[in-house]
């Protein structure tokens, strides 16, 4: 409370809504591993078998090759029967370059995992029975998560992949959430502002680009989760499954989008917006406190926004009633003026008077209807404010109040 009030009074103060504990990234993990290898060199404990390729570089490069395989797989799926030669050539060049990279990488891999030769020999025998060669994006790299316990290898390589896979999972989830928010904004912007075929085509292309990023982040996370499941068995890792859950297609949705069948006031948020990551499991961890602070500030802002909107809405309802009553009296005065001073007791005057009285009756009926419909609203507002003051917002009270107020934003 002290931090957020200080920031509201002086924006130069630290923003309590900002996440101060950064999500672990693969780049940060690689830097940490490089620093650890530098310390090993200084103390004479270096275990690298190649001058240019250390154990961490080997595994990190393997993850990069795996990511490139997923990218080429997507591009291959987009290639249709009547694709142009230019598209086929570009894809083939990417396949050739990736094949060369994998050949060089496997040579270095045999230094650290000699038994991988057995697995590759088995792959070669299986390939002989195939009618077509294995596509480069399906070629097995045999990382520790893929080897599991089929052949012996140094468990330190599995530890390295574990750290990198955790960062990959966290980074992919962060990218998934960010792109889902962008996609939601683009959809709302398109529905509200975009008109015409040209503008709609450009908007759809922008949405398709973001959707491709969403799909890529989802595939990256699924690959990381699959590897973590395998490595967790090898390294006896526990606890992480409660935060990094399997990602289903139904889980990939925007923060305000509920599950199929959820009502407006009972939407269930996807777990991707509620997870704090593996580092958030420990309640004494900085990540947990950081996430808790940001969520508390957001909840306080939503409560204050509710109070502000209710005040404005109450004033608007009062002004609507006063306007309708004024307009009713204005039409009645108009009817009297037309008959008495302007037209007189003629057929035309009687018609004008009937029209004015009808308009006055309509305004009176609207005022009466609104008064009846809005009569319980002050009670709803009082109950909601009481709950906010007590720190226990009752969703049902707000959900009941929202339709009566005519504002869908209150439910949100």
pLDDT in tens, the chain (412 residues): 888 889 889 989 888 877 666 667 899 899 999 999 999 999 988 888 888 899 999 999 999 999 999 999 999 998 888 888 899 999 999 999 999 999 999 999 999 999 999 999 998 888 888 878 889 999 999 999 999 889 999 999 999 999 999 999 999 998 998 899 899 889 989 998 999 999 999 999 999 999 999 999 999 999 999 999 999 999 999 888 888 999 999 999 987 787 777 766 677 878 888 776 654 444 445 555 666 677 778 778 877 777 777 788 888 999 999 999 999 999 999 888 877 776 666 777 788 888 999 999 999 999 999 999 998 888 887 887 777 677 554 443 333 344 444 433 333 3
Of 168, 125, 127, nearest to 145 (Cα)?
168
Helix runs in 194-285, H state only: 197-235
Sign of the Cα torsion 390, 393, 394, 398 reads: positive
The structure's pTM equals: 0.67
Question: How much is the CA Rg of the chain, to the nearest whole Å?
Answer: 32
CA distance linking residue 209 with residue 219, whole number of Å: 16
Of 351, 44, 305, nearest to 359 (Cα)?
351
387 CB neighbour count, 10 Å cutoff: 16
- What would the two tokens of residue 114 be? 């000699």
CA distance linking residue 43 with residue 344, whole number of Å: 111
């Amino acid at each position: 409370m002290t931090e957020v009030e200080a920031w509201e009074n002086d924006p130069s103060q630290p923003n309590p809504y900002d996440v101060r504990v950064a999500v672990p990234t693969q780049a940060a993990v690689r830097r940490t591993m490089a620093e650890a290898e530098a310390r090993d060199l200084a103390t004479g404990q270096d275990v690298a078998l190649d001058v240019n390729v250390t154990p961490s570089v080997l595994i990190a490069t393997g993850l990069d090759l795996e990511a490139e395989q997923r990218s080429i797989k997507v591009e291959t799926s987009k290639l249709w029967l009547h694709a142009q030669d230019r598209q086929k050539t570009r894809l083939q060049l990417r396949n050739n370059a990736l094949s060369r990279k994998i050949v060089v990488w496997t040579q270095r891999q045999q230094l650290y995992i000699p038994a991988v030769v057995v697995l590759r020999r088995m792959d070669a025998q299986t390939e002989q029975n195939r009618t077509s060669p294995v596509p480069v994006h399906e070629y097995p790299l045999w990382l520790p998560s893929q080897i599991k316990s089929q052949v012996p290898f140094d468990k330190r390589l599995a530890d390295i992949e574990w750290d990198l896979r955790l960062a990959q999972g966290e980074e992919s989830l962060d990218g998934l959430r960010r792109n889902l928010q962008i996609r939601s904004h683009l959809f709302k912007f398109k529905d509200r502002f975009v008109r015409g075929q040209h503008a709609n085509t450009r908007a759809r292309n922008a949405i398709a680009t973001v959707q491709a990023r969403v799909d890529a982040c989802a595939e990256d996370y699924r690959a990381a989760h699959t590897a973590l499941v395998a490595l967790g068995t090898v390294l006896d890792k526990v606890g992480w499954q409660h935060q990094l859950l399997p990602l289903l297609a139904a889980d990939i949705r925007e923060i305000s989008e509920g599950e199929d069948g959820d009502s407006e006031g009972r939407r269930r948020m996807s777990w991707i917006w509620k997870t704090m990551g593996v580092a958030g499991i420990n309640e004494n961890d900085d990540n947990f406190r950081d996430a808790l602070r940001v969520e508390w500030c957001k909840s306080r802002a939503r409560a204050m926004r509710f109070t502000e909107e209710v005040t404005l809405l109450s004033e608007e309802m009062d002004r609507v009633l006063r306007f309708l009553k004024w307009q009713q009296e204005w039409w009645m005065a108009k009817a009297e003026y037309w008959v008495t001073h302007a037209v007189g007791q003629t057929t035309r005057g009687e018609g004008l008077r009937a029209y004015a009285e009808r308009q006055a009756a309509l305004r009176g009926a609207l005022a009466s209807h609104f008064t009846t419909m809005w009569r319980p609203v002050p009670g709803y507002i009082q109950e909601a404010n009481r709950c906010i003051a007590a720190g226990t917002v009752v969703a049902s009270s707000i959900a009941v109040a929202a339709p009566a107020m005519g504002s869908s934003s209150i439910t949100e």
